[in-house]
Each structure stands twice: as structure tokens, then as C-alpha cells.
Homo-oligomer: A and B are copies of this chain.
Amino acid sequence: MNISQAADASGLSAKMIRHYEKIGLLQGIHRSASGYRLYSGEDLHRLRFIHQARRLGFSLEQIRELLSLWGDHRRSSREVKALAMQHLEDLDTRIQELQAMRQMISTLADTCHGDDRPDCPILDNLAASSTDKNTS
């Protein structure tokens, strides 16, 4: 199986697959006589694992660990769960940051009439917060 077929079958791009190999997420990929990468069913399984983990927002470093745990039959589910919980916390943090922004923008946009007049609470706020101290 060529790289573009593996890409289609895994949902990744050929570019990503080469990248994952370069950073060590994939190893021992076979090559044809002319140097083409050849993917086995097992390789494909691994690629799909990576794709799904990326869809859940895990970083490539985290995926490296997940793959290692996946391949280790003596691992404890505790380790995997800890990794997932850490990622959950990261997600929560990012969600809350974005929601705080969303809330503020939304409030400002509500008070801006958004017509031909030039006065605008949004710009006023950006400029006014300038004189606050709690601009973190």
C-alpha cells in the first residue's frame, strides 16, 4: 500500500504521515526497491489510531505516549487515564479562556448599534481598558 492510499484509508495527508514517521511516531515502515514507502495493515491501524487521537485534540507528544501505552500489554489503565485527564484539564482551560473572550465580545457587540454612526462601544472599550490596571 502506497502512501497516498494509506493517507486516504487513514484520513491523514501524505504530508502528515511522512512527518509522523520523521518524528518517530511510526517506525520500521517498509520500502519498495525504488524507495517508496509501503504500509501494512498494522501500519494502517496505527495511522488510524493517530488520526483519531488527533481528532480528540491530543498533541503529537501525547500521542507518542499513547502509542507506547497501546503497545505495552503490561501497562496499567491508570496511566492512560491520567494522560486523558490531563488533556481534559487542558481542554477545560482553553474552553474557559475562549468563553471568557466570547462573553466579553458578545457583550460589547450587543451594545454597539452597528450602523453608519461612528461611535462604537467596542473600540471605546479596547481603548478604555487601556487605562485600567487589571489588564493582566
Given contacts A77-B114, A78-B115, contact A69 B123 (CB under 8 A): yes
Contact flags A53-70 to B (C-beta < 8 A → 1, else 0): 101110000000010011
Task: Give A9 to B89 CA distance when docked, in angstroms.
Answer: 32
Q: Which 10 A-B pairs have the closest CB atoms?
A: A48-B130, A81-B114, A77-B120, A52-B129, A57-B101, A91-B102, A11-B135, A80-B120, A81-B112, A76-B116
Selected interface stretch from A14-22, A26-34, A103-111: A103-111
A39 at the interface (CB under 8 A from B): no
Number of copies of this chain that the complex holds: 2
Minimum distance in angstroms from A43 CB to a CB of chain B:
12
In the complex, are the beta carbons of A116 and B78 less than 8 A apart? Answer: yes
Inter-subunit contact A105/B126 (CB<8 Å): no
Query: Chain A, 61-95, contact with B by CB distance < 8 Å: what is the 0/1 string?
Result: 00000100110011111101110110110011011
